[in-house]
Amino acid sequence: MSSDSTPTSAAAPLNRPMITVAIMLATLIQTLDSTIANVALPHMQGTLSASQDEITWVLTSYIVAAAIATPLTGWLSDRLSVKRLLIFSIGGFTVASALCGLSETLTQIVASRLLQGIFGASLVPLSQSILLDINPREKQGQAMAVWGMGVMVGPILGPTLGGWLTDSYNWRWVFFINVPIGAFALFGVATFLPAREPKHDAKFDAFGFATLGLAIGALQAMLDRGEQLDWFGSNEIVIEALLAAISFAFFLVHTATVGKKSFFKYELLRDPNFATGTFFIFVIGAVMYATRALLPPMLQNLMNYPVATTGLVTAPSGAGTMVAMLFAGRLLKRIDARLLLLAGFLISAFALWQMMQYTIVLSASDIVWPGVIQGFGLGLVFVPLSALTFSTLAPELRADGTATYSLMRNIGSSIGISIVQTLMTRNTQVSHADLAANITPFNPAIQPMLNSGSNYDLAVLNASITQQASMISYLNDFKLMFVATLLVIPLLVLIRPARQAPDASVAHAAMD
């Protein structure tokens, strides 16, 4: 984003609290929508007369559209100005949400979800960039704590809120809930966010965007549908993998040959803090969202938890995240941010170690407390990581930087979820075969059941073996995430401490 400003806008004071409230409302509806529709899919399937395979496109269309449109944020913020782009994005997202709720056919809701993804793609990176720009350096840690609460808590509360709305009203309110929130956000941005002149001479690298967009879209579609279609046993997945690989290869060659005219600003990679921080957020996205993807089906399928109860026992992890972020924002002024990152990763690893001790019989506290501890650890990681990642990045690169940061978090979450779900399915089959090998007529523990000749007894025995095999697979996934969290800790040495800045606001970097 540009630091150009007019004399009038430079003299106008910023209403930081109202700007923060407005952009965080916009962030909240976008992050909520990443998970809020998941629990409503069975209800949508019946209303829209869709098959199990067809209804998943309600999720896939949103994910793919958002992934493709996210890299455009930097160029659009220059070309249109931050305020115009944010108004356009919030307004479009709100209208698309209403269209989702009014949809009567599968085609209509998939098209509306595509629009939701396109318009919502800029909301999270823009909100982060604006908070960095309107706050002086000494307050950026607290600003990132506020931003992080919206980004991290939204996906956690989404399934709980979605389940309540669906049970109390119907699935359409999962989308209608965005309309009043979006209207308030739109009013706040239009009223309080200062405007600046756009860069009419901003060049657009069409080939670079086309190749990158195609690569990201094909990768997200492959990750989202791979487990359902048995990965490379499906022609669709093979085609998507080839498209992603070929398109990304073209993008790399194009970026290397056209220099500064490239769609991707390679200056971002010259900043060690930004490059390392982006890798860290990729790992955090994989670990955080993979855990969120594992716990609900484990509780519902293995332990027969209702949807509402599942939401109640998993939601407290969001409280842990919020508390940690509030502390982290203040502690950044007194403690080396790298020490906070170390503490956060160790606490998250401890929570995953606790999850590795799960059994078929769990109390509510056995589920709640590891979730709260993991949420606290992630909160300690998220705030200093966001502050350090952008502490040495030039203000004019922030819009592109925040878009890349958000994109890597989303790709990390998609890859993490795909990996744990694939391992879950395959390890369940392996564990089932290993356990079933012990079921012989010579095993005294099961001789009475085998000798009875009852099909019912055999079905109960098989169900018990399947349940135990699934639990083993879940524990293996928790172990994988535990190891991944520990392995990333040594990379903290690559992050440099933030530069000390004079006590002057950097708000003029974008809008003052």
The pair of three-digit structure tokens given for residue 350, joined into one six-digit string: 């401890």
Residue 400: band (very low, low, confident or very high) from pLDDT cuts 50, 70, 90: confident
The b-or-e profile of 22-59 (16+ CB within 10 A means b, else e) is bbbbbbbbbbbbbbbbbbbbebbbebbebeeeebbbbb
Give backbone dihedrals phi and psi of 265, rounded to 5 degrees, phi first.
-85, 100
Residue 104: how many CB atoms within 10 A of its CB? Answer: 9
Ramachandran class of 2: left when φ > 0, alpha when ψ lies in -120 to 50, beta otherwise: beta
Residue 383: band (very low, low, confident or very high) from pLDDT cuts 50, 70, 90: confident
Single-letter code of the amino acid located at 161: L
**Which residue in 150, 125, 121 sits closest to 62, CA to CA?**
121
The pair of three-digit structure tokens given for residue 473, joined into one six-digit string: 């697979």
Q: Pinpoint the alpha helices (H) of 12-56.
A: 16-33, 41-48, 52-55
Q: 232-249: per-residue pLDDT in tens? A: 888 888 998 999 899 889
- What pLDDT score does 200 carry? 64
Distance CA 510, CA 399 (A): 10
Give, to the nearest 10 degrees, the angle between helix 337-355 and helix 455-488.
160
Residue 512: band (very low, low, confident or very high) from pLDDT cuts 50, 70, 90: very low
Q: Report the CATH number of the 264-496 domain.
A: 1.20.1250.20
Mean pLDDT of 476-494: 87
Same CATH fold, 264-496 and 15-204? yes
Segment of 69-73, 99-103, 209-213 carrying the highest mean pLDDT = 99-103
Q: What are the structural domain ranges in the chain? A: 15-204, 211-259, 264-496
- What pLDDT score does 347 carry? 93
Mean pLDDT of 401-406: 83
The pair of three-digit structure tokens given for residue 396, joined into one six-digit string: 């004019």
Residue 257 has pLDDT above 70, yes or no: yes
Distance CA 159, CA 155 (A): 8
15-204 folds as Growth Hormone; Chain: A; (1.20.1250)
Contact predicate 217/114, CB 8 Å: no
The pair of three-digit structure tokens given for residue 346, joined into one six-digit string: 């160790």
Distance CA 68, CA 254 (A): 18
Q: 264-299: per-residue pLDDT in tens? A: 777 788 888 888 888 888 887 887 777 777 887 788
Distance CA 140, CA 20 (A): 12
Distance CA 163, CA 310 (A): 10
Q: What angle do CA 253, 259, 261 make, to 5 degrees?
A: 105
Q: 172-206: per-residue pLDDT in tens? A: 998 999 999 999 999 999 988 887 777 766 677 78
User: What does pLDDT average to over the chain?
Assistant: 81
Place of tokens 């025995």: 461
Torsion of Cα atoms, 210 then 212 then 216 then 219, to 10°: 100
Single-letter code of the amino acid located at 100: C
Distance CA 129, CA 400 (A): 9
Give every CB contact of residue 297 below 8 A, 6+ residues apart in sequence. Answer: none
Residue 333 has pLDDT above 50, yes or no: yes
Contact predicate 465/436, CB 8 Å: yes
Ranking 95-99, 205-209, 233-237 by mean pLDDT, the lowest is 205-209
**Which residue in 246, 260, 256 sits closest to 212, CA to CA?**
246
Contact predicate 96/62, CB 8 Å: no
- What pLDDT score does 36 carry? 79
**Which residue in 314, 35, 339 sits closest to 158, CA to CA?**
35
Contact predicate 173/101, CB 8 Å: yes
Residue 433: band (very low, low, confident or very high) from pLDDT cuts 50, 70, 90: confident
Residue 52: band (very low, low, confident or very high) from pLDDT cuts 50, 70, 90: low
